[in-house]
Amino acid sequence: MLAGNALVGQSGGPTSVINASLAGVVETALKSKSIQRVFGMRFGIEGVLGNVLLDLGAEPADTWKGLRTTPSSALGSSRLKLKDEHFAPVLKCLKKYDIRYLFMIGGNDTMDTIHRVVEYARNHGHEMRGVGVSKTVDNDLFGTDHTPGYPSAARFVALSVQQAGILARDMQRVDQFVIFQTVGRSAGWLPAAAALAKSNPDDAPHILLLPERPFDRDRFLAAVLKAHKKFGFVSIVCGEGITNADGSPVSASQTRDKFNNVEFGAMGGTSAAMQLHRLITQEFGWRGEFQVTESLQMCAADRVVPLDINEAYGCGKQAVKLAEKGTSGVMVTITRESKSGQPYRAGFGTIPLSEVANHERPLPDNFITADGMFVTKAFLDYARPLVGKLPPFTNLAMRKANGAVSRSPK
Closest by CA to 218, choosing from 369, 367, 368, 373, is 373
What strands lie across the sheet with 234-239, from one edge to the other? 207-209, 234-239, 177-182, 288-292
- Phi then psi for 327, rounded to 5 degrees? -75, 140
Respond yes or no on whether the N-terminal peptide bond of residue 205 is cis (omega within 30° of 0): yes
Active-site residue, from 62, 84, 138, 145: 138
Measured CA to CA, the distance from residue 204 to residue 206 in angstroms comes to: 5
Burial category of 262 from C-beta neighbours within 10 Å (exposed 0-12, middle 13-18, buried 19 and up): middle
Residue 159 to residue 393: CA distance in whole angstroms: 11
Closest by Cα among 65, 139, 152, 136 to 104: 136
Query: DSSP 3-state assignment of 316?
Result: helix
Q: Return d(Cα 51, Cα 60) in angstroms, integer.
A: 23
Q: Can you say how many angstroms the Cα of residue 108 is from the centroid of all Cα atoms in its chain? A: 12
Angle at 168 between CA 167 and CA 169, to 5 degrees: 90
Give yes or no: 138 in active site: yes
From CA 221, how far away is CA 315, in angstroms rounded?
44
Helices (H), 258-407: 265-268, 272-284, 306-324, 353-357, 377-387
Q: Are 125 and 95 in contact (CB under 8 A)?
A: no
Query: How far is the C-alpha of 165 from the C-alpha of 3, rounded, in Å?
Result: 56
3-state secondary structure of 24: helix
Separation of alpha carbons 203 and 147, rounded Å: 28
The C-alpha atoms of residue 380 and residue 356 are separated, in whole angstroms, by 25
d(CA 260, CA 257): 5
Distances in Å between the Cα of 87 and the Cα atoms of 114, 139, 212, 300 are 12, 29, 36, 35
Catalytically active residues, by annotation: 138
